[in-house]
């Protein structure tokens, strides 16, 4: 299989966003607007880009394998893990499924929570037509328990930075729960932000991921730098 020849500037950009790599895993910093898995738009995926990158870098004439054990929403940025072998894909998928991957997000919000830190426990439903989650009552059809912990860790001139530890993995969980708290994510029109971001993304960033390597069994921690489009934080 032939991959598109990457321009030098695209190749350099992809190379600069690699956070960790070995024979089994490739961990990269996703930009807002990129898709991790193919969808109805048919747009090229982040995996497609890194397949072309590896094909050029390693001079691979055949098919490059990159599996996707998890995903981030298209408007979200930050740490994404790609699997370079089928064994790594199967084992990483199991780690995510069993809650053994620890994920920390940073969310720049339009409001500040009343409590500086806390735990949110909500029952979430899902509107498939609108592709949107909503807070509902326990026992409602399709409702799933969503749990996260948050801490108010900084501010900009107009926004408030929350660090979020995700304890369950529900659809649009952070976006929905923070909006219900009165703290919609900057740029997230779907969940109540007053205006969009110029790049079409939202200020939700998968900041750090920590897990035990599925093959070597060593502890791996990867941290993704914030997008340069975010406003500066107060010291």
Domains of the chain: 8-223 (3.30.2350.10)
Confidence of residue 235 (pLDDT cuts 50, 70, 90): low
- Residue 3: pLDDT above 90? no
Confidence of residue 1 (pLDDT cuts 50, 70, 90): low
Residue with tokens 């948050």: 150
Helices (H), the chain: 8-16, 46-57, 86-97, 173-180
Would you tell me the crossing angle of helices 46-57 and 8-16 to the nearest 10 degrees?
110
CB 41 within 8 A of CB 35: yes
Confidence of residue 7 (pLDDT cuts 50, 70, 90): very high
Q: How far apart are CA 30 and CA 44, in angstroms?
A: 13
What's the pLDDT score for residue 38? 80
């Amino acid at each position: 299989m032939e991959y598109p020849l990457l321009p030098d500037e695209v190749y350099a950009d992809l190379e600069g966003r690699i956070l960790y790599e070995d024979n089994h895993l490739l961990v990269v910093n996703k930009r807002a607007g990129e898709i991790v898995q193919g969808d109805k738009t048919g747009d090229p995926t982040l995996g497609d880009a890194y397949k072309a990158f590896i094909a050029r870098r390693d001079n691979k004439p055949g098919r490059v394998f990159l599996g996707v054990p998890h995903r981030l929403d298209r408007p979200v940025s930050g740490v994404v893990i790609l699997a370079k072998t089928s064994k790594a894909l199967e084992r990483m998928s199991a780690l995510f499924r069993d809650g053994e991957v620890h994920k920390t997000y940073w969310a720049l919000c339009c409001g500040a929570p009343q409590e500086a830190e806390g735990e949110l426990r909500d029952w979430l439903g899902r509107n498939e037509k609108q592709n949107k989650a909503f807070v509902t009552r326990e026992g409602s059809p399709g409702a799933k328990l969503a749990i996260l912990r948050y801490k108010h860790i900084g501010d900009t001139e107009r926004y408030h930075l929350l660090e979020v530890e995700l304890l369950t993995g529900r659809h649009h969980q952070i976006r929905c729960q923070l909006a219900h708290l009165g703290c919609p994510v900057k740029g997230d029109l779907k969940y109540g932000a007053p205006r969009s971001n110029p790049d079409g993304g939202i200020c939700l960033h998968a900041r750090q991921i920590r897990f035990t390597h599925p093959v070597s069994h060593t502890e791996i921690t990867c941290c993704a730098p914030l997008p340069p489009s975010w406003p500066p934080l107060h010291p």
